[in-house]
Chain A
Amino acid sequence: MRALILILAAICVLPLVVRPAIASEIWIFAIFGLGLNLLLGYTGLLSFGQSTFFGSAAYAAGYLLKHYAIGIPLALGVGVGIGALSALLVGYLCVQRSGLYLIMLTFALNQLFYFVAYQWTSVTGGEDGMPGIPRPALLGVDLRDPQHYYVLVSALFLIALWLMKRIVESPLGKILQAIRENEVRADAVGYNAPRFKLAAFVIGGAFSGAAGVLYAMLFGIVPLEAIGFVVSGNVVFATLIGGSGSLYGPIIGSFVFIWLSESMSVMWARWPLLLGVAFIIVVLFFRGGVVEAWSRIWRFSKRTT
């Protein structure tokens, strides 16, 4: 409950502090992170190719928005579908292996999708990206106004958060955690671990796909980088900084990551150095990310008072 109030407050305050586009990007990236964290935090699978689902969905929905003038609900549906479908393909191959091999497979397949997008210039625009993606009106509301679009994005973020909360608190969420903790035992008590991992991939892919569509509409373009490994890395990075052990970690991570990158990149070209330092601190001292750091400070302050 307290978390929800904090999030609602953040949604209201954020557009007053930063540009609406950046505020929207924070919640979009948070949806992306929620999808990754089902794999990373709950199932214990490091997907280093999450932009495959994000980018594929962005291209597919972007193409339809641009050339067939579809509405936003359909665009989102396409994005979720393409995200889930591409995750089904990638996940099916990846869950055959575990550990380092799984990570490398997600990465290699990400590169494969990247080069398809790079070569398929007639559809994706290749290196130039896919520009000119419109933001159609929804129920008569003109979403070209960045503030209106921000309202849509934050509403969808809240829906995504609610859905993810239901999923991680469901039997599926428990089973995925059990697989993360001890795959051999999970198998012995009767769960087909690869199939459940695949389910995690597909659900994570669907969330990533939704984020991809919102991203394409936010900037009106799908740049080639949207399907590249840097974006895959960024979402892992943001989730780890926020804390992969909790539902809210990726949200905080997205906040820190986007805010840092937007505010620092203007002032200092070498700003990723700061991220690097933050990452090292997290890995060395706060494996649970900001969420753990916060709860430690909370406990410490309680003890001292």
Chain B
Amino acid sequence: MALLETHNLTKSFGALTAVNAVSLRIESGALHSIIGPNGAGKTTLFNLLTGTFAPTSGTLFFDGKDITGTPSHRIAHLGLARSFQRTNVFPALSLFDNVWIAAFARSPSRRGLTWRRTDHYPEATERARAALSDVGLGEKANQLAREISHGEQRQLELAIALAAAPRVLLLDEPAAGLSPEETRQVVALVRTLKGRYTIVLIEHKMDIIMNVSDRISVMHFGALIAEGTPAEIQRNPDVRRAYLGGVAA
């Protein structure tokens, strides 16, 4: 069954149609990648999926329910968590607090919100610790987010998404701006997450995509031009044109 589904999702900014009638089905448990040249509308599509923008037209279903137009802070409670393409953490907070904030947001109970100490929420604390150690930052829990390296901030970015105990994990270029070594670490990490979560991945680095994806959708000028397994996509002539000469032609 499709966990996340869109029907003719469209977003226009004035005369520009950034996302044009995109119909996607993300199967439960799959790692589904979205690729496409710069400016193809991938991040805008993500912003639609997470409620950052409301679509101009079209519908969005999560787990069979119509969630079109739900604001982003409520989408998070449904179990869609995202990481951002540009590092988007809480700089002056400790790494632990960065992930704890995300874990607490998904706590079933907010009793004691204004007076209970934060360490009196064992479930959120446990999830925060687990998320940090999942990305390999467990030992730096007490450092401030602004004091760690760029690569580590990218990992923290992922940990914040993981701490929310998501059902769908939306990763927007998790390897953006990383060195080859750091990229390898992120790929390894994404691989360990595969199967545990339903993952939607945006990425530019082809080798990553072809390695880890179950399915791939290709966007070009806001529309989907192909979908299939990595092998099918590699053979697809439209995709080759879009990447190699489509923009210039």
Interface residues of A (CB under 8 A from B): 166-167, 169-172, 174-175, 177-178, 181-182, 184-193, 203
Contacts and interface: CB of A to CB of B under 8 A. Distances in A.
A189 B164 contact: yes
A247 to B, nearest CB: 14
A181 B102 CA distance: 14
B90 A178 contact: yes
Contacts of A189: 76, 81, 101-102, 105, 160, 164
Contact of A170 (B101, B106, B118): B118
Which residue, B76, B88, B113, has most C-beta atoms of chain A within 10 A?
B113
Interface string B86-105: 00111111000100111011
A166 B101 CA distance: 17
Interface residues of B, number: 35
Contact of A178 (B50, B93, B121): B93
Contact of B121 (A171, A172, A185, A203): A171
Given A171-B113, A171-B116, A190-B106, A185 B73 contact: no
B116 to A, nearest CB: 6
Given A170-B116, A188-B82, A192-B73, A182 B104 contact: no
Contacts of A174: 93, 97, 100-101, 104, 118
9 contacts: A170-B118, A171-B121, A172-B114, A177-B93, A177-B97, A181-B90, A187-B73, A188-B76, A190-B77
Contacts of B76: 188-190
Contact of A167 (B71, B77, B115, B164): B115
Nearest to B90: A181
Given A182-B89, A189-B102, A193-B73, A170 B115 contact: yes
B164 to A, nearest CB: 6
B84 interface: yes
Interface string B107-124: 000101111111001000
